[in-house]
Chains A and B, each alone.
Chain A
Amino acid sequence: MAPALKLLVQRVALGLMLLFLVSALIFVGTQILPGDVAQSILGQSATPEALANLRQELGLNEPALTRYFDWLFNALQGDFGTALTNGQDIAHSVGNRLKNTLFLAFWAAVIAVPLAIFLGLLAVRFRDRWPDKLISTVTLASISIPEFLIGYLIMYFVAVKLRWFPSVAMINDGMSLGEKLSSIAMPVMVLTLVVLAHMMRMTRAAILNVMQSAYIETAELKGLNRFQVIYRHAFPNSIAPIVNVVMLNLAYLVVGVVVVEVVFVYPGMGQYLVDHVSKRDVPVVQACGLIFAAVYIGLNMVADVVSILTNPRLRHPK
């Protein structure tokens, strides 16, 4: 177990270091945006006096390095400060938004991941025959269409014409789980269509790769049927690349769905971040950036860990 453990510790340490570097980058990035917070809050209605008053109040006159370490230290304790624009507690607002984002990502993943892997297995089983071609064509088409267009199409047919689900995916705490699920049905559909192809193609390719090996031939020769061969022998050996692509897509579901959020008016992190970027609300942008980075790095770390653990050579060293 020793080499695996060592690798794991290395991975985690690397992840943390990466996160620290990212925090510095986020801070620098937000500093070099054109215009400043005061200007953006007041917009076209900014007079020089109002600007000066607001800058003073927001502490924008402190040196950058002081502000960075203050921020990092507080962020580590879970205190992201208050939003400059509306004075609300960031940890609280972000917490709500993050909960919504994770809710949507969770249900999209619950449907998309098993479906993608199942379709991948199916495609391998019927390789180069019509089911394989149909699956590939449909998923590739859905990934090629921009997601907002899929969103509008689904909205037009499902919400406006058929009136099956609401076009506005608004959820709040007063709703039951059933109501919430009905509310997010359309964004979940869109997200599923968007992430399906990538995971399904990767599953198919990874398994096909393994299928060339000698031990698959042996399995076939000892009389197992084709699906059993794939399921028992090929799939476990191609888990590493599949987990990798699954994690990438999960990360996308958490950090990259701003377009879908806007189209369906879903109160998630992406929309929250974009609103505050356009107002130069630096503390919020930094908090969101840090959370996104943590999610991305965290999920990739999980992918690495899983690949290490599924590698027998690392689990059972000589």
Chain B
Amino acid sequence: MTNHLNYLAARAGAGKMSRREFIGRAGALGIGAAIANTMFAQAVQAAGPQKGGTIKVGVNGSGSADSLDPALSANQGQTLVTRMWGEPLLELAPGNAIEPILAESYSSSPDAKVWTFKIRSGVTFSNGKTMTADDVLATMERHSGDETKSGALGIMRGIQSMRVEGDEFIIELEQPNADLPYLMTDYHLLIQPGGGKDDPTATIGTGPYVMKSADPGVRFVFEKNENYWRDFGNAGTIELIVINDDTARVAALQSGQVDLVNRVPPRTAGLIDRAPNITVHKTAGPGHYVFIAHRDTAPFDNNDVMLALKWGMNRQEMIDKILFGYGSVGNDTPINASYPLFTPMEQREYDPDKAAFHWKKSGRTDPVLLRTSDNSFPSAPDAAALFQQSLGNAGIPLEIKREPNDGYWSEVWNKQPFCTSYWSGRPVQDQMYSTAYLSTADWNDTRFKNETFDQLLLAARAELDQDKRKQMYADMGMILHNEGGLICPMFNDFLDASSDRVAGWGESAGFGLMNYYAPMKMWVAA
């Protein structure tokens, strides 16, 4: 029997047998469907990538108002599109590593102030031009300076000067930053000919695919770039179809109209995974759902009120009922194990007695007002209601105000003293902390101002000794955990799904859909 099963697996691996057929035949040998399913996936995976064919992706998070300019990339659809035709200098790799892409190698001066990137030679843009260090410089210039609208401006702001020497691109920083290579993986910073200054939306880059047709908010078609410089990208054609409606996206996967979808709703993920031809992929990431309070506004300027709210949060319940198990508990810092220098600390559990103690100590009796809306994170109003209940058990009154989705980011978030929100996270601690927890940060959405914290942040940035840096980040985490305005109950997993027509899902770092590379890394299996 084993021989016959091996024969079947080999046939499946060679792409000569569909999953349905394999499961049927394996069933005849007395193998259950679940086991047969896994065996099929292993056989196909082991057979290695197949070239050619078409992969269709159903994408959530894109609209007809989207620009093709990578500088303005702000949603998952745009990021997925720009990844096809453009490439950064460096890219994130599993295990907090960095993979060199258009930069062959990089090095820094001992004080981490001057960074040198050796630009890869022999790479051409899809318009036939050769990519040079000057194109890199021009690209970085377009993303910096006061005139720019680039989403990467925050990253580029610390740069004092940039220059080209031969095939080397050199960045001089105002302040030392040991994390600069991580920042260069930003999805806006894709190298364009002449920096894309003439025509930022031309979609000409060095990427593995070239754009054949673009209809923003509807459909994008890409074909393999025949002159691409390395062996990467399997499908001959990749089609991205924008399906923002959750039910429609999943139905399209089930009916075989698309092979891969992103953002599977947690509520139905379990059900979808049970379908015989579909696999749901769960990837832990740095994204988190938060309740944020302004530390400079009453009553949140009183740390006892903050502690009462933190102890009154039932984190496990949030994971179970809001994320349906697809996530991990937060600990009132924005950092989790997906960060390179993460140090675990004692988990804050739900404790109504401690919450009541701090509430009583604060002397406050009026209810606390929390603002929320559906788009602050999925099921945020439900999460607010759960929070209201768990606080209620500790005798703390919480009032919930439902705000409209429309205008939430301009009128409520970062304006009102207490609201629900989300962060998609950043590749390194330094970037996450300097984006939202440094006293002077534009997006300091908790109005957290702590001198020790700021000093530690700047010191850690310049520190090249990893152990010392790790300790500094651990100390900063502890400060935020005890004194911050951030209540972080949960980190949400990325949930994507693929059908058995495609194979090759693997480990990745960064965002969902294998850091948006899944359509290129996967291949047509059946």
Contacts and interface: CB of A to CB of B under 8 A. Distances in A.
B254 A35 contact: no
B218 A163 contact: no
A293 B176 CA distance: 58
Contacts of B72: 41
A262 B68 CA distance: 22
A50 B251 CA distance: 39
B241 interface: yes
A278 B63 contact: yes
Interface string B235-265: 0000001111101100110111110000000
Contacts of A43: 74, 409
Contacts of A50: 148-150, 153
Contact of B251 (A88, A93, A167, A284): A167
A275 B66 CA distance: 9
B231 interface: no
Given A35-B407, A44-B413, A47-B154, A83 B146 contact: no
A50 to B, nearest CB: 5
A93 B215 CA distance: 9
A295 interface: no
B120 interface: no
A54 interface: yes
A199 B100 CA distance: 64
A190 B357 CA distance: 58
A44 B255 contact: no
A45 B74 contact: yes
Given A35-B410, A45-B151, A168-B241, A275 B248 contact: no
Interface stretch (A103-111, A127-135, A264-272): A264-272
A109 B442 CA distance: 53
- Per DSSP, chain A at the interface is helix
A225 to B, nearest CB: 48
Contacts of A47: 153-154, 442-443
Query: B interface, by DSSP: helix, strand, loop or mixed?
Result: loop
A265 B248 contact: yes
Contact of A279 (B63, B245, B258, B413): B63
Contacts of A45: 74, 151
A263 B245 contact: yes
A156 interface: yes
- Which of A43, A48, A86 has most chain B Cβ within 10 Å? A86
Contact of A265 (B146, B201, B245, B411): B245
Most chain B C-beta atoms within 10 Å of own C-beta, residue among A41, A44, A48, A87: A44
Interface string B381-425: 000000000000000000000000011011101000000000000
Contacts of A160: 251, 254-255
B64 A93 contact: yes
A73 B242 CA distance: 35
Contacts of B154: 47
A270 to B, nearest CB: 11
Interface in A245-265: 262-265
Contacts of B213: 172
Contacts of B64: 86, 93, 267, 271-272, 275-276
**Centre residue among B65, B146, B254 by max chain A CB count within 10 A:** B65
Interface in A30-52: 33-36, 39-45, 47-50
Nearest to A39: B410
A140 interface: no
Contact of B406 (A34, A86, A264, A275): A34
Contact of B411 (A35, A57, A93): A35
B163 interface: no
A265 B243 CA distance: 6
B149 A53 contact: yes
A154 to B, nearest CB: 10
Contacts of A264: 248
A166 interface: yes
B511 to A, nearest CB: 15
Contacts of B67: 85-87
Contacts of B276: none
Interface string A151-175: 0100110011001001110101000
B217 A42 contact: no
B252 A275 contact: no
Given A35-B411, A87-B67, A159-B255, A53 B406 contact: no
B25 interface: no
A34 B218 contact: no
Contact of B242 (A34, A39, A87, A265): A265
Given A87-B201, A275-B63, 17 more contacts: A35-B410, A40-B410, A43-B409, A44-B409, A44-B413, A47-B153, A50-B148, A53-B148, A53-B149, A57-B149, A166-B257, A170-B218, A172-B219, A262-B248, A265-B242, A275-B64, A278-B63
9 contacts: A42-B149, A48-B442, A50-B149, A54-B149, A156-B251, A160-B251, A168-B58, A172-B213, A279-B65
The 5 closest A-B pairs by CB, nearest first: A35-B410, A275-B63, A85-B65, A34-B407, A86-B67
